Structure 1
Amino acid sequence: MSSVAPSGPLDPDTVPLASRQDGRYPRPQLVRRDWVDLCGPWDFRHDDGDTGREEGWATGLPSPRTITVPFPPESEASGIAEPGFHPVVWYARTLGRDELAAAGHGPRRPRLLLHFGAVDHSAQVWIDGRFVGQHEGGHTPFTLDVTALLTDGSDADEHLLVVRAEDDPHDVTLPRGKQDWHEDAHAIWYRRTTGIWQTVWLEAVPTGAIDAVRWTPAGPTASALSVRFRGPVPDGARLRIALRFDERDEDLGSTEWDATHSHPTLDVTVPVARQRNGQAEDELTWSPETPRLVDAVLTLVDTDGRVLDVVGSYLGIRSVGVGGGRFLLNRQPYTMRSVLDQAFWPQSHLAAPHPLAHRQEVELVKALGFNAVRLHQKIEDPRFLYWADRLGVLVWGEAPNAYEFSPTAVQRLTTEWIAAVERDVSHPSIVTWVPLNESWGIQHVVTDPAQQAYARALVDLTRALDPSRPVVSNDGWEQQDTDIVTIHDYEGDGAVLARTYADETARTRALEGLAPSGHPQFVGGAVDRGQPVMLTEFGGVRFRPAGHGQDGWGYTSATDGPDWIARVAALHDAVRASSFLAGSCWTQLTDTMQETNGLLAADRSPKVPIEQIRRAVTGG
């Protein structure tokens, strides 16, 4: 797949509106006109004996099979469909001159960047047998400058790109989320994802280029912007920032800043909405009900006004926080009605089966009556976040946890979490960060001061990286310095659930002693500070309609469709009846492998008419 337009001169007028992209672009908040999608057929080999490096596979794979990238080899969509233990895998494909040209390569854009959306867990990369670089962290992106190897003056029409990926299924220090360490999926764990599972793509950039942008709300009429540059910025260079609200066909003005001394970053405050007698400051406010996005075109120019680089981006004007026992959106109490999403597909596992699937997933969340989604134990493809931004769904960003507490596990999760927050911090849809869930990787946090320190450190680290959002310390279990107190309760009787969370007396009782899971609600000296309380896992009612295979697993069970939807409604009614719950998260959006407790089947079809589910969820 090639880029959206042919290569040509750099021109701000040719940059597509980032807020109106079609959902294919792998980095939706920093868009260039020219790029090349390298997904599709690649050569592939398992390397169970880990002999490939010694045998010279970096120069070509012997007797390769064909895999369809970016689908993991465990999945049917990949064409390999071997879910057993294969800790080392290799990939190879050629890069041709036409692909370099389609990426925009030329005198104005001489640098070639090779991007990987995610490779689980570690990757090593070669071009024409020459080592390019490596990366560790199976859920976060990395970029390699491959200019020297693809433009070395040779007459070669093609270059060989080779990737080696390693993901030890038995290494419980890896941040792995729901990936099973057993050969077959069991209980609440699913098939593994090894190797490439997000987009591989190529783009050409100028010698001095815009490398990253970060938008942070700065009040109702402005946004803080941090721009990171790659390569030298010439003396006298300036950065122009032009804003537009396409929904209203309105230019919001532009500003210009001196970029000469900004390497590697330029930090500015950009006015977004000009007040009209103080009455219109919320005209551009983002929320699930009004998902308004402001487009930005960032143009780097030299002293003669010549365009050095130009990118499209977008931002959302909104604020989030907590206060008075409530979650606050744009300074007003907002009840979060969320659903847990494993974001796992039967045919392609953690990789979406096609780019449009991200839009369809967000549309289903809204159609079912939810205003929020908790992405569970997964750092999702940023194209999902784009659709959440554009269509209006709140997102809880959550780390895939390791299963062991050790210095290695601490280092790995911390490194990957920093990269995840950095990647996603500008998305207005993300409103809460969750670095830990149910004490995974900190199983002895009740008694171990080291594990308590680690959990607190992750919260403070997240706040240091992004002070603009609430942080949940350990979702559902054994919390310390948390901005939202979260409870997991899979009581199946709506009347019992209603009594448990009825009023302030019930609130006090719920936060003292043991949680429904049998674990202490607070540890390490933490106490209730009046934070919002949310029921962030409940429901989990098992039901699989006729024709959808055999029944699997759930926390409670329904006998048929009417019984199931009655249970869904009764449990949601109980949450709505509470005088203190600030939000909830239903388990779960879809059936996932052996778990049949979704509102939708694994193929995303509703188990009963979707209007019935929506009425049960919303009460209307």
Structure 2
Amino acid sequence: MKSLNINNNGVAISVKSDDENVANYKRAIHPRPQLQRSPWQSLNGLWKFAFDDEGKYVQPSDLKQWTHLIEIPYAPESIKSGVGDTNFHANCWYEREFITPDGDGKLLLHFGAVDYRARVWVNDQYIAEHEGGHTNFSLDITHVLNDSGITKLTVWAQDEPQDLAKPRGKQDWQLKPHSIWYPRTSGIWQTVWVERVGKTYIGHLCWNSDFERWEVGLEAALAGDVPVCSVQIKMKLRIGDKVLAHDTYEVLSGEINRRIALGDPGIDDYRNELLWSPEKPTLIDAEIQLWSDNQLLDEVQSYTAMRTVSIQRDRFMLNGRPYYLRLVLDQGYWPDTLMTPPSDEALRRDVELIKAMGFNGVRKHQKIEDPRFLYWADVLGLLVWEEMPSAYRFTRKAVERMTHEWIEVIKRDSSHPCIVAWVPFNESWGVPNLVETEAHRNYVLAMYHLTKTLDPNRPVIGNDGWESTDTDILAIHDYDTKPQQLLRRYGPEMKLSDMLNHKRPGGRILTLDNYPHQGQPVMLTEFGGIAYAPEDEPNTNQAWGYERCWSISELEMKYAALLETVNSIELFSGFCYTQFTDTFQEANGLLYSDRTPKFPIEVIRAATLSGGGFCTPSRC
């Protein structure tokens, strides 16, 4: 392939060959941990790139000049992308060539996420469009391949910077980040990759577990050319070298629904060896093969776990036992890469740090995280509350977009044992007239019940923070940093009816009329938010937080006092502290944005665990 020379922000860059490009930028870590095939080929690396501010290009042939190179999977607003342009750009174009993988069957093209709207061409032929900035999509591009051995891929992405009727989470609609909103992440921001599959293959997997029957459940869908003759699916479940089950199942249609008994040992001590929890995150590896007439059609690697979550009266239950939740709120941003992690190791390190700080879970705030984060949470044992990024307007279009994307989110992530709660709304964002407008209430109710329909096995928090309608957990946001005030508001002298009717953190009522508290668990799901930034840092006067500390010792003291108080309050079944790291102008993290602790991590851990919490695995 010919060299390509482009001036990128004043720096001349040359790409000599496709082979060199792939070798330098390939991520060896599989982007879809629960449905892996080998081999696969990453398309991350340097792509040609151009903005189209006037929106005048309709197809690849319209674009005569590429003005930049961009490193995928980083968004053009990020420093790591090599573009680093944070101005308003609604449209952008990408293009690269890659060596077509050898093999028969079909070639699938996968995008981890493109924010917000994407159109794809392969070899100048239009393939498809996808809308939704946080979810994956896959395309069969077999029919447009040629005999040259080289495939050209072109992508148009549209992300209107000031469109408040789309799910956007913490991405700012103003040119410069303000208050609690951050720089935008436009276009491709997760891995792009291709893989060869047979003419018939497994298109989707969904795992669940049945604690009472001691079974693992698999739902799967075949894709491609489903043969009219008999098809068998063969599964092997194991932990290490120990085989738990060997199962062969006749597939009579394109849908598979199979329950696999694991052999119940009956006694808790033996059962516990198989259960997944933050203390012992046991995963069950799965090898799945698809056969027809003694011919192997497909083979994938996956994993699942024996893990149940539920609500019993006023307590959150994990594996049939009351479990106190100690969550930390995480925005999921990095200074140089924005919503894209700088590496797989960075994701693993975040999970390890959160656990080292004494937390057993994380609330991923206003972001659908990279599947690799969920993988590490599964492997290392970290509970996750998954929250839909908000739109900020209530319109018919916003409702359609949110609903469609939320369905895709649940489909993508419901097999991860780490996920223990779904959060479709936060603080009435996108439904600002929830108290007075019936349509807003119906929307929240519909999303709650839709989520319970798609996944009846996890709690759903209808609207996290206040103004609750139907919900499985009453989630309260209260940023009062005076421990005595929190104790007065929620402690032993508190009357629950008084709290629900008269105490209004954030100036909002906790439950709406006709939706009284019905004994659900009560959790303090946002509190703290105490800022600290060194006085000698640039722009330290702009550091944002709900309260400001001027020394590390003051921050350490206030964190310890808050956590000791919250841990002692019997009403709470758990908490979520704001927040894990500093994020752009927000200086209210326990860690700086580079993940360096503001005070010793063992001190953070001791404070997080102070008092033991009202409910622990051994005491409730």
TM over 0.5, shorter chain: yes
Quick one: which of 561, 571, 596 aligns to 2:562?
571
2:53 is aligned to: 48
Q: Spell out the pairing of 1:236-247 with structure 2 (5 A cutoff).
A: 236-246=230-240
Quick one: which of 75, 82, 87 aligns to 2:85?
82
Equivalent residue of 2:556, what SS? helix
Identify the range of structure 1 (69-78 vs 495-504) with the bigger mean alpha-carbon deviation.
495-504
Quick one: which of 126, 132, 135 aligns to 2:127?
132
Shift of 1:142: 0.5
Identify the range of structure 1 (390-399 vs 509-518) with the bigger mean alpha-carbon deviation.
509-518
2:404 is aligned to: 415
1:500 is aligned to: 489
1:91 is aligned to: 94
Quick one: which of 112, 125, 141 aligns to 1:117?
112
Quick one: which of 263, 275, 300 aligns to 1:285?
275
Amino acid at match of 1:213: L
1:429 is aligned to: 418
* Aligned-partner Cα distance in 2 for 1:496–1:281: 43
Deviations 1:473-514 (A, max 9, x none): 100021100000000000111222222221273443322235
Equivalent residue of 2:347, what SS? helix
1:19 is aligned to: none
2:242 is aligned to: 250
Amino acid at match of 2:567: R
Deviations 1:546-579 (A, max 9, x none): 6654430100111201110110111111111101
8 Å contact kept, 1:487–1:515? no
* Aligned-partner Cα distance in 2 for 1:370–1:506: 29
Identity of matched residues, %:
44
Shift of 1:75: 0.5
8 Å contact kept, 2:57–2:63? no
8 Å contact kept, 1:59–1:162? no
Equivalent residue of 1:446, what SS? coil
Normalised to the residue count of structure 2, the TM-score between the two structures is 0.92
Equivalent residue of 1:517, what SS? helix
Quick one: which of 605, 609, 615 aligns to 1:614?
605
Deviations 1:96-129 (A, max 9, x none): 13xx13xxxx23xx10000000000000001121
1:590 is aligned to: 581
Q: Which runs of 5+ in 1 are unaligned?
A: 3-21
Identify the range of structure 1 (499-508 vs 364-373) with the bigger mean alpha-carbon deviation.
499-508
Deviations 1:113-153 (A, max 9, x none): 00000000000001121101110000000011000112xxx
8 Å contact kept, 1:23–1:386? no
Shift of 1:57: 3.0
2:198 is aligned to: 206
2:160 is aligned to: 168
1:453 is aligned to: 442
Is the alpha carbon distance of 1:463 and 1:500 closer, same or farther for their aligned partners in structure 2, counting shifts above 3 Å?
Answer: same
Normalised to the residue count of structure 1, the TM-score between the two structures is 0.92
8 Å contact kept, 1:495–1:570? no
Shift of 1:38: 0.4
8 Å contact kept, 1:58–1:126? no
Shift of 1:223: 1.4
Alignment partner of 1:331 is 2:296 = no
1:513 is aligned to: 502
Shift of 1:303: 2.7
Equivalent residue of 1:226, what SS? strand
Is the alpha carbon distance of 1:557 and 1:275 closer, same or farther for their aligned partners in structure 2, counting shifts above 3 Å?
Answer: same
Q: Spell out the pairing of 1:180-199 with structure 2 (5 A cutoff).
A: 180-199=172-191
1:13 is aligned to: none
Amino acid at match of 1:178: K
Q: Which runs of 5+ in 2 are unaligned?
A: 1-17, 20-26, 612-620
Is the alpha carbon distance of 1:64 and 1:515 closer, same or farther for their aligned partners in structure 2, counting shifts above 3 Å?
Answer: same
Deviations 1:214-245 (A, max 9, x none): 01111252111101110233312110110110
2:550 is aligned to: 559
1:312 is aligned to: 301
> Alpha carbon RMSD of aligned pairs, Å?
1.7
8 Å contact kept, 1:23–1:383? no
* Aligned-partner Cα distance in 2 for 1:325–1:163: 49
Q: Spell out the pairing of 1:343-492 with structure 2 (5 A cutoff).
A: 343-492=332-481
* Aligned-partner Cα distance in 2 for 1:140–1:130: 24
Equivalent residue of 1:76, what SS? coil
Shift of 1:281: 2.5
* Aligned-partner Cα distance in 1 for 2:262–2:65: 56
Shift of 1:277: 6.7
8 Å contact kept, 1:72–1:78? yes
* Aligned-partner Cα distance in 2 for 1:61–1:581: 61
* Aligned-partner Cα distance in 2 for 1:276–1:556: 52
